[in-house]
Amino acid sequence: MSNEASGNGREPWHLRRQVPVTLFLAIAIQSAVAIWWAAEMDTRVDYLESHFTTTQTFSERLTKIEVSQEVIKKDVSEIEDLLRQMFYRASPLTNSED
């Protein structure tokens, strides 16, 4: 191709023997490592997203359990109060003192 064929008077791009092959090899290896790294990051993000969903589900369940526990504590406290009242009414010591 001549200078006139390129349209701008410049020579088209070409590879000279002055550029070492190791440069291209290094660029190819870096590109492969970058692609491998990105794929590994994608795998890690997928794992973290699934772990987050699982943790969120456990958190919701734990909150429900804590609320239920508080209700049970209140109910047990009420039952204890009723039993104390019944015990003091039925106790012979309390009846003889009247």
- For residue range 18-65, list pLDDT tens digits in order: 778 888 899 999 999 999 999 999 889 999 998 888 888 888 899 999
Tally of domains in the chain? 1
Identify whether 9 is part of a domain.
no
- 52 domain residue, yes or no: yes
- The verdict on residue 91 lying in a domain is yes
Asked if 3 contacts 10 with a C-beta cutoff of 8 angstroms, the reply is yes
1 belongs to a structural domain: no
| Any domain includes 14 | no
Whether residue 12 is contained in a domain is answered as: no
Residues 58-98 have pLDDT tens digits of 888 999 999 999 999 999 999 999 999 988 887 766 555 54
CB 12 within 8 A of CB 6: yes
Measure the CA–CA gap between 96 and 89, rounded to whole angstroms.
11
Does 6 map to a domain?
no
